[in-house]
Homo-oligomer: A and B are copies of this chain.
């Protein structure tokens, strides 16, 4: 431990620690020359104010937490990219927490983070239907929380989402327009509000086209590829759907594997569309039609809201009420490709 502290630096300069401190904070008046001298010496000795100490003093960690289900996932990694960008611009640091869709871990993270370690939290929740009233306990504390994409409706916090209902409606309608009549809806977790919204869009699109909503066509899947392949093989064999609407990317991927295995021609025998952030959707065999969410922008928006609540950015309106929670809805893009078109 050969790092130097403010006291030692002050001694070397024959100055008091307060003066040295001032040189870094820029605050109070300080002689231009002494300041330069201090900074020069600091550079030479490679001194930097200890953050733990500074943070303890002004009760700010200059750090935010990002809690997500997983990171090896196009959507979340891009969102984090956006968050990091904004955080860095504001001089903040970003801590990552992965729940792996484990509710207990989520609770543990949330609890641990309310001890001054971070100034705010951005999160996308696990899908567990458990009681999440535990969060209320923390909502009363001063640390702001922003949800993005996956959220708990019953928690009062700022939220960044996309127009899931409209997108789902449009995607389902697209399948119907292309001639599908037996469209399965693949979902991992029906309890998530986002899952509900997407399913509602699917339902309503069916209805408005005069097609019945059949409970059996809603397929519960998991996060395990192997498991999903099992499930879908059964579904494709028994139900013989002519359309697949996957609420998340990995379910479309599983569908592709199964179709390839079963020699089903995607686009012809069965049309597939899904929510996805896959940048190479057009390179798949066949190119995959997607509802593309603005993942990066969602991260940026979520972070901006958080920093606004942290007072780092001027309020959007003249309103200075820090407790107002913002709701932002971004638009997804429906990108039609071969998987829902078939042979041209």
Contact = CB atoms under 8 A, between A and B. Distances in A.
Contacts of A96: 80, 84, 94-96
Interface stretch (A214-222, A279-287, A322-330): A279-287
Interface stretch (A51-59, A185-193, A205-213): A51-59
Main secondary structure of the interface of A (DSSP, over half): mixed
Nearest to A78: B72
Nearest to A137: B46
A317 interface: no
A284 B281 CA distance: 9
Given A84-B71, A116-B52, A95 B98 contact: no
Given A71-B80, A74-B72, A284-B280, A49 B94 contact: no
Contact of A114 (B3, B77, B85): B3
A93 interface: yes
Nearest to A50: B116
A162 B80 CA distance: 27
Interface string A285-322: 11100000000100000000000000000000000000
A165 interface: no
7 contacts: A3-B141, A48-B115, A70-B81, A72-B77, A95-B95, A256-B280, A285-B285
Interface of A: 1-3, 46, 48-53, 55-56, 59, 61, 63, 70-74, 77-78, 80-81, 84-85, 88, 93-98, 111-112, 114-117, 137, 140-142, 253, 256-257, 260, 280, 283-287, 296
